[in-house]
Homo-oligomer: A and B are copies of this chain.
Amino acid sequence: MREHKPDKSEISIVDIAEALNVSAATVSRALNDNPRISEATRKRVKDKAEELGYRHNSMASSLRNKRSNIIGMIVPRISMYFHAIFITALQNRLQEEGYSLMVCQSNDSESIEQKLAATLYSSRVDALVVSLALYTEDYKHFDGFTKQGIPLIFYDRVPTKTYAAHIIKGDDYRGGLLAGNHLIETGCSKIAYISGPLSCSIYKERTEGFQHALDKAKIKLERKWCFYQELTAENAWNSLRQIFVGKERPDGIFASNDTTALAAVEFAREQGIKIPDELKIVGYSNDPRASIISPPITTIDQHPVEMANRVAQKLLNLLKDKSLRAINDTREIVPVTLVRRMTT
């Protein structure tokens, strides 16, 4: 028996039903625009709902429907330009379809990534979109999603080993190749390379493409001029100091992100090294900062919006048609573009 609760402020469909002398089922149907309900009742219900200040309870609804309409997302950091743009584009698209994005940051820590995966897993997200942390080489923490048939999509930084999931990534091999070819074509022969760790797919593939370009031109990549590390400005400066310590100096640098390319330009400025005459630089990502510094930096554009659109499309297909989930290891490659500026 329902007791009288004078302070009961939350209105449920039952309250509306009572007020209108109809059943809760009818109210639910009317509110959901179910076609089997008369126009008149629909209106009566909606008006009364408005009047009573009813708000839909998506927890109850989700529990009943077994879907939360929430898409989980794990990214390294939202402050990275590429990811910020990607997230925005994805969010705009998903919002149109009634989904919300729950964006979490791993801060490039594998252990945080694991915790977030667990949390999102029990939060019952309808799908998970991930760009991996820098050193994640084991993907067990995502197994549950696939086992439960929850769509799992990796973008940009994707598994380097075989793993049952959808993958949508940039053409990093080509990016590395373009960068290498471009440096060579503009006359470089002694090239330094500052890369991210090879545990991370994007750096691994950029390295392969870059290496291929050098091999073709029979240019050797000097061991002492190669770095594989987290691409912070500070690390970049340390590497640059090491690279320019001796008499023999490179005439080109491929930096695997723009933060590092930026540091290289600043380093050269400090050292009085002329760009592009004495030193050419190519970065990666087309971060806005790359076009602001003097000289503006030649870089590789990854087309984050297009990548987001492809992820959105894949996601929506998977969400709408469960039968598509039988296949869970598709792979798409998004083209990259070299943007030439004044450092080459």
Contacts and interface: CB of A to CB of B under 8 A. Distances in A.
Number of chain copies forming the complex: 2
A287 to B, nearest CB: 10
A46 interface: no
Nearest to A118: B55
Interface of A: 9-10, 53, 55-60, 62-63, 68, 70, 77-79, 81, 84-85, 87-88, 91-92, 100-105, 107, 119, 121-124, 144, 147-148, 262, 288-289, 292-294
Contact of A122 (B58, B70, B77): B58
A290 B9 CA distance: 50
A88 B63 contact: no
Contact of A85 (B79, B100, B122, B288): B79
23 contacts: A9-B148, A53-B144, A53-B147, A57-B63, A57-B124, A58-B123, A59-B59, A59-B63, A59-B68, A77-B88, A78-B84, A79-B81, A79-B85, A79-B88, A84-B84, A91-B105, A100-B119, A100-B123, A102-B102, A262-B292, A289-B292, A292-B293, A294-B294
Contacts of A9: 147-148
Contacts of A92: 105, 107
